[in-house]
Amino acid sequence: MLSKRARYAIKALLFLYENKEKTPISAKLISENENIPYKFLENILRELRQSKILKSERGAGGGYRFSKEPSEITIADIIRIIDGPIALIPCVSLNFYEKCDECDDEATCKIKKLFVQLRTEMLPILNKSLVEVERL
């Protein structure tokens, strides 16, 4: 399961996209509209900014706007930034690979084969951009 952080991040970014004409949008506004604890959201937004998804403007009237095109930001990107791997086991992760410690031979491992298949089915869905998700 996704963490609440990741779910909040997706909701916040989708809200930002749906209201992108009003930019910049403050954390307070997002927090109130999406029922996300304010201080928690601040942390999440900072993480998204540091990952170059968002940029921010300080001071009164400030807030957040996209740093990349929303059509170039995918759900998979967001999950990877906030939660880490998409794959269900580390040895089949493309971006967070870790060797299987209890596995004698990764080349023949049946479990690995299954979870590679799974990841391969998951990725096209999660590679949808904010724009595409909004149109669902």
* CA end-to-end distance (rounded Å), the chain: 22
State which of positions 73-102 bind DNA (CB under 7 A): 83
Smallest gap from residue 42 Cβ to DNA (A): 5
Q: Quick check: 66 binds DNA (CB under 7 A)?
A: no
Q: In this structure, what DSSP letter does residue 60 have?
A: T
Q: Cα separation of 131 and 28, whole Å?
A: 23
Q: Quick check: 58 binds DNA (CB under 7 A)?
A: yes
Q: Which residues are CB-neighbours of 131 under 8 A, at least 6 positions away?
A: 17, 70, 71
Nearer to DNA, 5 or 128 (CB): 5
Q: Quick check: 38 binds DNA (CB under 7 A)?
A: yes
Pair 12, 34: CB distance under 8 Å:
yes
State which of positions 10-29 bind DNA (CB under 7 A): 26-28
Nearer to DNA, 42 or 109 (CB): 42
